[in-house]
Amino acid sequence: EYDVFRDSLLRYMGYANECGEAFVAWLPVWGVPATYGIAATYVLADTVDKGVKRWNKAEGASDRANQAAAVATETLTWQMLASVFWPGSFIRVVVATTNLALAKADVSAFDSLAAQGLDVERILPTLLGLAAIPFIVKPIDTTIDAAAEISFAK
């Protein structure tokens, strides 16, 4: 069954906060929180969608509300952990670690680039943060799936 939140370009809204964390050096003070707002809106929309679908599927069942609430709770928990909390935290660590390494390193090698207008101390953490995104998706999803399997009643 086609799922607009997982099978369309809309799913990339879930990556907004990861991009926000990577671009933290370039965004205004409200920029990163705004990207978390975008990702959270995606999560809430997916949660409502899954809850409503279960509600409709369970028509006539005495525990219809419980079924819908259980699916919505599981979706909300999974999405918040796998799409918002862990990925954003990981990218924040990548960017902060890169900034720390640059602060401790002799970056005079970047002077010629800076003379050309390239702000390596902002560009490099951003690029490394963005580059990490494809590598963290599968491990995070797999870990959250495993945790959900032992945490949620099936």
**68 has a pLDDT exceeding 80:** yes
DSSP 24-87: TTTS-TTHHHHHHHHHHHHHHHHHHHHHHHHHHHTTT-TTHHHHHHHHHHHHHHHHIIIIIIHH
Res 69: pLDDT? 96
What is the distance between the alpha carbons of residues 104 and 91, in angstroms, rounded to a whole number?
20
What is the distance between the alpha carbons of residues 114 and 120, in angstroms, rounded to a whole number?
7
**45 has a pLDDT exceeding 60:** yes
74-86 in b/e form (b: 16+ CB < 10 A) is: bbbbbbbbbbbbb
Res 61: pLDDT? 85
Number of domains present in the structure of the chain: 1
Res 44: pLDDT? 98
Average pLDDT on 38-58 reads: 96
What residues make up the domain containing 22? Answer: 4-151
The widest CA-to-CA distance across the chain, in whole angstroms, is: 71
Res 154: pLDDT? 57
Res 106: pLDDT? 75
Average pLDDT on 13-29 reads: 97
Is residue 45 within 8 A of residue 83, CB to CB? The reply is: no
Tell me the pLDDT tens digit for each residue of 106-128. Answer: 777 777 777 777 788 899 999 99
Higher-pLDDT residue of 50 and 153 is: 50
